[in-house]
Protein backbone atom coordinates (compact mmCIF):
# COMPACT_ATOMS: atom_id res chain seq x y z
CA UNK A 1 0.00 0.00 0.00
CA UNK A 2 1.11 3.52 -0.71
CA UNK A 3 1.99 5.58 2.34
CA UNK A 4 3.10 9.19 2.63
CA UNK A 5 6.20 10.02 4.69
CA UNK A 6 7.09 13.54 5.82
CA UNK A 7 10.79 14.16 6.12
CA UNK A 8 12.56 16.91 8.00
CA UNK A 9 13.91 19.99 6.29
CA UNK A 10 17.58 19.15 6.00
CA UNK A 11 16.75 15.89 4.22
CA UNK A 12 14.63 17.55 1.55
CA UNK A 13 17.53 17.97 -0.84
CA UNK A 14 18.35 14.28 -0.56
CA UNK A 15 14.75 13.42 -1.48
CA UNK A 16 14.60 15.42 -4.68
CA UNK A 17 13.61 18.62 -2.86
CA UNK A 18 10.42 17.04 -1.56
CA UNK A 19 9.18 17.39 2.01
CA UNK A 20 6.80 14.45 1.54
CA UNK A 21 7.54 11.26 -0.32
CA UNK A 22 5.34 8.27 -1.10
CA UNK A 23 6.52 4.67 -0.90
CA UNK A 24 4.92 1.23 -0.92
CA UNK A 25 5.22 -0.16 2.60
CA UNK A 26 3.22 -2.08 5.16
CA UNK A 27 5.49 -1.43 8.13
CA UNK A 28 8.39 0.73 9.31
CA UNK A 29 11.09 -1.62 8.06
CA UNK A 30 9.63 -1.73 4.57
CA UNK A 31 9.24 2.03 4.62
CA UNK A 32 12.90 2.59 5.53
CA UNK A 33 14.06 0.09 2.90
CA UNK A 34 11.91 1.67 0.18
CA UNK A 35 13.01 5.18 1.12
CA UNK A 36 16.65 4.17 0.81
CA UNK A 37 16.03 2.52 -2.53
CA UNK A 38 14.00 5.38 -3.99
CA UNK A 39 16.29 8.10 -2.61
CA UNK A 40 19.83 6.78 -2.21
CA UNK A 41 21.03 10.12 -0.84
CA UNK A 42 18.83 9.49 2.20
CA UNK A 43 20.74 6.30 2.96
CA UNK A 44 23.55 7.87 5.03
CA UNK A 45 21.03 9.38 7.45
CA UNK A 46 18.88 6.23 7.49
CA UNK A 47 22.00 4.22 8.33
CA UNK A 48 22.97 6.62 11.12
CA UNK A 49 19.56 6.04 12.66
CA UNK A 50 16.16 7.67 12.69
CA UNK A 51 12.99 7.71 14.72
CA UNK A 52 9.57 7.47 13.13
CA UNK A 53 6.47 9.24 14.34
CA UNK A 54 3.21 7.44 13.53
CA UNK A 55 0.18 9.55 14.43
CA UNK A 56 2.27 11.36 17.01
CA UNK A 57 3.71 8.22 18.65
CA UNK A 58 7.48 7.97 18.41
CA UNK A 59 9.10 4.64 17.43
CA UNK A 60 12.88 4.11 17.47
CA UNK A 61 13.43 0.47 16.66
CA UNK A 62 10.07 -1.15 16.05
CA UNK A 63 10.46 -2.43 12.47
CA UNK A 64 7.15 -4.20 12.29
CA UNK A 65 4.90 -1.41 13.45
CA UNK A 66 2.10 -1.50 10.85
CA UNK A 67 1.59 1.54 8.65
CA UNK A 68 -1.56 2.56 6.82
CA UNK A 69 -2.24 5.21 4.18
CA UNK A 70 -4.26 7.27 6.64
CA UNK A 71 -1.42 7.45 9.21
CA UNK A 72 0.56 10.63 9.66
CA UNK A 73 4.11 9.30 9.27
CA UNK A 74 7.07 11.58 9.99
CA UNK A 75 10.73 10.68 9.73
CA UNK A 76 12.72 12.22 12.60
CA UNK A 77 16.30 12.14 13.84
CA UNK A 78 16.98 9.32 16.27
CA UNK A 79 15.82 10.55 19.64
CA UNK A 80 17.81 10.10 22.81
CA UNK A 81 17.98 12.02 26.04
CA UNK A 82 19.75 12.64 29.32
Interacting residues toward another protein by CB under 8 A:
6, 8-10, 12, 14, 41, 44, 51, 53, 55-62, 65, 72, 74-77, 79-82
Q: Where are the beta strands (DSSP E) in the chain?
A: 2-6, 20-24, 50-54, 57-59, 73-77
Provide the H-helix boundaries in 17-60. Answer: 28-38, 43-48
Q: Minimal distance in Å, beta carbon 53 to another protein?
A: 4
Closer of 26 and 41 to another protein (Cβ)? 41
Closer of 2 and 82 to another protein (Cβ)? 82
Q: Minimal distance in Å, beta carbon 47 to another protein?
A: 10
Whole-angstrom distance, CA of residue 54 vs CA of residue 76? 11
Amino acid sequence: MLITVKIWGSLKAAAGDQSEVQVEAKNIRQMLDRLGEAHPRLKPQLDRGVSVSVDGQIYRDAWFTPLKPENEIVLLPRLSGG
